[in-house]
Amino acid sequence: MPKIVVLRWGHRPQRDARLTTHVVLTARALGASGLILSDIKDKKIKEAIEKVTENWGGPFFFEMGVPWKKSVKEWKEKGGIVVHLTAYGENIQTSDVLQRIKASEKDILVIVGSQKVPKVFFSRPVSDFNVAIGSQPHSECAGLAVFLDRFFDGTELAKDFENAKMRIIPQKRGKKTVKK
């Protein structure tokens, strides 16, 4: 199975603190291998995700401050493809874009913007595919979740995380966790 890494672009530490944290947690919980917070450093988010991975397991890497151009360039040099999630792209439900992405059998860098993204993100030097999780405005967090769930055919939600200190035991009622 190809691996997926998320590139979070346009993070503004004050305004986007919680949303970016949710994007990182979503990436981890739904099967991505790691997330790159591009162009900026945010120690609080790094600490938050490292604490989650320490308690609930991994592997999941978090990098920050890398210029987005560098990440994209290196990703492509290693043979990976780039998918840009945008409401303007090919609709994941009504087009065959997901099948074409899967058919490539390549590792995927998924770009998830915060603020309005530069025009170049839509074009070939950057993105191999522009994918819309529906053609309505909504949330990059929701979009990323649906993309990962569909890409991994749901298997990511059954994944066993390694070196977890805690684990939830699913229950019909109430909460049950075990310490390892």
Binding site for a second copy (CB under 8 A): 15-16, 18-19, 22-23, 25-26, 28-30, 52, 56, 87-95, 119, 122-124, 129-130, 132-139, 141-146, 149-150, 154-159, 161, 167-177
Whichever of 64 and 146 has its CB closer to a second copy, that residue is 146
User: Which helix (DSSP H) or strand (DSSP E) does residue 97 occupy?
Assistant: helix 97-104
Q: Which is nearer to a second copy, 28 or 106 (CB)?
A: 28
- Closer Cβ to a second copy, 43 or 173, answer by number: 173
Q: How far is the CB of 2 from a second copy (least distance, A)?
A: 20
* Distance separating alpha carbons of residues 75 and 132, to the nearest angstrom: 22
CA nearest neighbour of 88 among 124, 121, 136: 136
Residues facing 168 on adjacent strands: 177
- Least distance from C-beta 172 to a second copy, angstroms? 6
Find the length of the chain: 180
In the complex, the smallest distance separating the C-beta of residue 16 from a second copy, rounded to whole angstroms, is 8
Which residues contact residue 171 at a Cβ distance below 8 angstroms, ignoring those fewer than 6 apart? none
Q: How far is CA 10 from CA 36, 108, 115, 142, 167, in A?
A: 12, 19, 6, 17, 33
- Specify the residue, 139 or 163, whose C-beta has the smaller distance to a second copy: 139
**Least distance in Å: CB of 69 to a second copy?**
19
